[in-house]
Amino acid sequence: MRILDDKEKDLFIKQELQKDNLISKKADDLFNDFFKEGVNMEEQEKIVRLNQKKKQPLPFRKRILSLVASLMIIFLAANGYAATKGYNNIFFAIKKIFTEEDVTATKEEILSDKDITISFKDIEIADGLSIQINSLVVENNNAKLYLSVTENGNFIFPQKYVVKDKTNEKLVLASQKTSRKNNSELYGTTYQEIIVLKGMKENTNVLSLEIFDNNDSSIVLMEIDIENKEINVLTGKSKGEVQKLSETELKEALGDYATLGIIGEPEDKENLIKFKKLMLATELIYMKENYSDSKFTKEKMLKVYQELTGETFSNSEDILGENSFLYYDKKDEEYKYSVDGMDGYTPYKVLTIMDLNYSNGIYIADIIFITPSEGDYIDNNLENLDQYEMEIKFKLNSSYEYTRYQIVNSDELKAKLYEKRETATINEMTNTVQNVISEEVTNTTEKIKKTKINIAKKVDLLNGMSFEIEKIEYKENNKATLYTRIIEAESVTQDKRIKNVDVSYEDPNLGATSVGNSINGSAKEFNYEIMLHEITDDTSKINISLKCEKGLIANLALDLEKIVLNITYFNDSLNISEEIKIEQDLKDTIARFILMNYYKDVDGNNSIEHKNEMMIYTAFLLDEDGMYRNFGSESRYTNIGESIVYSIIKGYTGINFDANTKCSHNIMTREENDGGMEASIKYISGTRYNLDANIKEIEKVENNGSEYTVTFTYSYNLKPNNTYRATMRLREYSFDPSNPIAKQYVLYQLVDTNIQSEKI
């Protein structure tokens, strides 16, 4: 079979993805409604109110009085000002202005038309406030600078923009107020500011832009090189050589370089640094080249490595090591990513450059940074992350292809904890991962613990109809789906068919809710799903009314606490009530786990995926066959140094595989961990190295309060003649009483990873 190259794969992916051109009915309706009605009335009103805020005109007499009063005030104030400048009164001062040429009064030049795109790159100028310097447009002798401002929960608002001509002795071209109407928060909004530049000259090449807040304090001062399309953000540190650096650009670069630093005390520091440098080198290639064309040739790797570190090597293959995430494909003569090791690089985020000094060609930056994962960005969790401090020394490459900044102390970079945040983070998760779960549940009031209640109860209604309540599946955001099935005999006439299913329920936290659903269609037997909103774990009763054209058919009251169904049937002449106790099927109860992979393999090597320090949230479903099957997982990357612990959550062992690729295939039988110590030990040891190990004998169990130290012997199926002795520490796990499955089968938990093992 022919192997596709990357471009062909791109084309294939594109074609496949674009096959799917559908959007949901709800979304389609949403667009159509919006086009039909425009913004809703509330929003329209807001806009109208905004426009109506303009001052109402005063009556004529009042306007005259107001004008006279204003002129008097201005005259007096102007006289006062003139006196301070050494004039008898304001008229002498005005005469002076008209008789002497001033820099702002020069005759404007005729400018040629131009439309120069400068940048579409965001420059963060305050927390949650970023700006793009988009373009400079000159048309009919009118010069305008187009800015794009994005606000994302900022507390500082731009109020005034001052633009000066740096090419021509800081001639002030504009001092313009924002077009923003008020100081309200415009979260997630991007708007445009157009700064009209007056008196710009044809030779103007460099502008300075200073933005002020409503206290007239400078938010940022930057220089815009129109010709070279470069923007330099100047700060208080902008002196001497340091002034040449763009803070924004430097922060980005240092965010990349900080990933080379070591957090914690790794065992194999040398290899770890090497790995990190290589990963960053490939990132730099990606930054420079077209994504589809990126090819990691030997020459390229050598070049970028040299620019990045100042180091070189004679044979690039040597430095990569075996089983690396990057391997050298001798046939194609390039380095390639191995599929399993492809994930993992997220640059660190530099919050502050605390100090930046320059001496003898070396810059020394003292930075504060955080190590966010993609999930942290999405969850807006940056404020909760531990902050680290690091000193990075670098110099500027005089000529370069991939990076301007060459790191000088790459092998010595060490991060120190600068500020630890109170909120539980992944960093703190060692052998007490289960605390994070409970904390999450208790702290997140909207989260529903329940996952599913199986009812599976079919109710025979009168007149040849049946209504089955299959199950309730709880979802996030206080939502649930009630799965029902309606069966109507052929003999049921149209006027007696179920036309409406009205559902009501009251939640002590969220109040009363009712959902009405009308049924259309001619099917006699069909599944009917009802979305329930505003529901929580405490919702105790769901009432369902089934109606036909003529009126009520039946009322059903589902008591979710007692799991009892009360039914009242109606027909023309009688009402019958019945209470049905429902035997809950617990087999489908979902148990939740967090699994974490560990960082040492059977040979004691640190391999890449282990270094990636991946954490996986996984949910398992206990199916009808008594097998735990993976029900879904989500991986999160984190940087927790070497603190990864091989953990068992709710009594189960973590599984030592690349969860991304293998977790979905995981099946764990309940027999494998039936709650007994022997079975637990067997399971722990059996999965410790992803080999099928057999417990030979439990030699000793020492009970130290809440912990057990267990010594046992085991062998691997592959090498049954070799026997090993191991010691591990276990403790009983405190069960979640609401989870009957966990209560029944989970007993022991591994306390730490320090399983002493020896061949005997």
Partner 1 sequence: MGDKTMSGCSNPEAFERLVSSVKTKLYKTGMAILKNDDDACDAIQETLISAYKYFDTLKEEKYFATWITRILINKCYDIIKKNQKVSYLNKQVEINENTAYYDEYKIDSRLENALNKIDSDLRTVTVLYYYDDFSVEEISDILNIPAGTVKSRLSRAREKLYNLLKEVGENIG
Site residues for partner 1, 49-68, by CB under 8 A, read 50-51
Q: Which contiguous run of DSSP H or E holds residue 74?
A: helix 60-84
Asked whether 597 and 658 are in contact (CB, 8 A), the reply is yes
Q: Which is closer to partner 1, CB of 279 or CB of 320? A: 279
The footprint of partner 1 on residues 334-373 (CB under 8 A) is: 337, 339, 342-343, 345-347, 373
**Is residue 289 a contact point for partner 1 (CB under 8 A)?**
yes
Residue placing its CB nearer to partner 1 in the complex, 228 or 575? 228
Closest separation in Å from C-beta 32 to partner 1: 10
Residue 631 sits in the site that holds partner 1 (CB under 8 A): yes
Q: Which of 35, 53, 99, 422 binds partner 1 (CB under 8 A)?
A: 35
**Interface residues for partner 1 in 523-562 (CB under 8 A)?**
526, 529, 531
Residue closer to partner 1, measured from CB, 40 or 722: 40
| 383 contributes a contact to partner 1 by CB under 8 A | no
d(CA 233, CA 123): 9
Residues 587-616 that bind partner 1 (CB under 8 A): 592
Closest CA to 263 of 389, 383, 366: 389
Residue 615: Cβ-neighbour burial (10 angstroms; 0-12, 13-18, 19+): buried
Give the Cα separation of 120 and 103 in Å (integer): 33
Q: How far is the CB of 479 from partner 1 (least distance, A)?
A: 7
**Complex with partner 1: residue 249 or 506, whichever CB lies closer:** 249
Q: Is 30 in the site for partner 1 (CB under 8 A)?
A: yes
SS3 content of the chain, % helix, strand, coil (to 5): 25, 35, 35
Please report how close the Cβ of residue 286 comes to partner 1 at its closest, in angstroms: 4
Q: Measure Cα distances from 473 to 134, 135, 525 in Å.
A: 49, 53, 22
Applying the rule CB under 8 A, the residues between 100 and 159 that interact with partner 1 are: 120-122, 130, 132, 134, 146, 150, 152
Q: Which of 17, 110, 574, 760 binds partner 1 (CB under 8 A)?
A: 17
Residue of 108, 227, 267, 379 that binds partner 1 (CB under 8 A): 379
Q: Which is nearer to partner 1, 314 or 522 (CB)?
A: 522
- Residues 694-713 interacting with partner 1 (rule: CB under 8 A): none
CA distance 191 to 179: 9
Question: What is the end-to-end Cα distance of the chain in Å, rounded?
Answer: 49
Spatial contact of 145 and 207, defined as CB atoms under 8 Å apart: yes
Task: Give the list of residues 6+ apart from residue 272 with CB closer than 8 angstroms, or none.
Answer: 262, 266, 606, 611
Contact between 447 and partner 1 per CB under 8 A: yes
Distance CA 354, CA 493 (A): 80
Q: Should residue 677 be labelled a site residue for partner 1 when binding is judged by CB under 8 A? A: no
Nearer to partner 1 by Cβ, of 527 and 756: the residue is 527
Pick the binder of partner 1 from 1, 3, 110, 378 (CB under 8 A).
378
| Contacting range for partner 1; rule: CB under 8 A; set: 384-392, 476-484, 556-564, 729-737 | 476-484
Q: Which is nearer to partner 1, 9 or 420 (CB)?
A: 9
Nearer to partner 1 by Cβ, of 181 and 562: the residue is 181
Stretch that binds partner 1, among 307-315, 443-451, 598-606, 707-715 (CB under 8 A): 443-451
Binding window for partner 1 (CB under 8 A); candidates: 10-18, 361-369, 485-493, 735-743: 10-18
Our finding on whether 624 is near partner 1 (CB under 8 A) is no
Position 2 contacts partner 1 (CB under 8 A)? no
Q: What is the dihedral of CA 605, 608, 614, 616, to 10 degrees?
A: -80
Size of the site for partner 1 (CB under 8 A): 97
Determine if 31 is a binding residue for partner 1 (CB under 8 A): yes
72: buried, middle or exposed (CB in 10 Å: 19+, 13-18, 0-12)? exposed
**Beta carbons of 154 and 208 less than 8 angstroms apart:** no
Report, in Å, the least distance between residue 722 CB and partner 1: 37
Give yes or no for residue 660 binding partner 1 (CB under 8 A). Answer: yes
Tell me how many helices (H) and strands (E) the chain has.
15, 38
- For residue 477, state whether it binds partner 1 (rule: CB under 8 A): yes
User: For residue 340, what is the DSSP state?
Assistant: G
Q: From the list 27, 58, 71, 576, which residue makes contact with partner 1 (rule: CB under 8 A)?
A: 27
Q: Which two tokens stand for residue 686?
A: 């059996």
The reply to whether 18 sits near partner 1 by the rule CB under 8 A is yes
Q: Rule CB under 8 A: is residue 84 a binding residue for partner 1?
A: no
Q: Looking at 45-53, 76-84, 234-242, 646-654, which segment touches partner 1 (CB under 8 A)?
A: 45-53
Long-range contacts of 629-634 (CB under 8 A, 24+ apart): 629/666, 629/667, 630/663, 630/664, 630/665, 630/666, 630/667, 631/590, 633/659, 633/663, 633/664
Round to whole Å and give the CA distance between 211 and 221: 7
Tracing tokens 């399971």 back to the chain, one arrives at 683
Residue 6 or 578 with smaller CB distance to partner 1: 6
Site for partner 1 contains 329 (CB under 8 A): no
Within 294-313, which residues bind partner 1 (CB under 8 A)?
294
DSSP character string of 269-307: HHHHHHHHHHHHHHHHHHHHS-GGG--B-HHHHHHHHHH
Verify binding: residue 43, partner 1, rule CB under 8 A: yes
Which residues, numbered 160-219, are part of the site for partner 1 (CB under 8 A)? 179-181, 187-194
